[in-house]
Amino acid sequence: MKKIFILKGKSETGKTTKINQIVDWIISNYGCSNTVGFDSTNLLKDTHGVLKIKKLSIGINSSGDTEWEVKKIDNLKVESSELINSPDIIICSCRTKGKGRKHLIDNYNYSKGWLRVFINVEEFNKLDLKNQKARDTRILKEIKTWLTGLEKL
């Protein structure tokens, strides 16, 4: 079963930044090449592509504000021994409602072979740095826990 982790939240809650922090962590800790357009000097810049860690593939799509942006995950592909498949894991984002979220619910579900995990990115007042930091720490820790030690057999 493949896994999809979806950061779900309103605009300007830091979904892209958190996905980029996870990309940085994966590249730094697993030594894979930056094949997703990650820019360590700009965590607000969207990233898209597939990271490879030995036999494991992780699709990344940080842009999820519109249905079109969410659907970019449909094009994340991995070539292996003459087969073209979707990645083993996808990390992406979407809004709290709308066509993009509906696309994820309809196409990335248990009946289609996906373990789907929505991770809520709560909205806090821009000046509420304490709650923002606690939220961000919790989200990063959760995703890292899901990914730590993963290796495709």
Task: Record the pTM.
Answer: 0.92
pLDDT in the model for residue 135:
95
- What average pLDDT does the segment 134-151 reach? 89
Identify the band that residue 7 occupies on the pLDDT scale cut at 50, 70 and 90: very high
- The CA-to-CA distance between both ends of the chain, in Å, stands at 13
| Calculated CA dihedral for residues 98, 26, 77, 11, nearest 10 degrees | 20
Strand, coil or helix: what is 54?
coil
> 55: pLDDT confidence band, cut at 50, 70 and 90?
confident
Note whether 66 and 72 are within 8 A (CB). Answer: no
Q: Considering the chain, what is the average pLDDT of its residues?
A: 92
Record the tokens describing residue 97, joined without a space.
Answer: 């409602």
Cβ atoms of residues 16 and 24 within 8 Å? no
**Which tokens in the block code for residue 109?**
């579900």
Pairing outcome for strands 2-9 and 56-61: unpaired
Does residue 80 carry a pLDDT above 70?
A: no
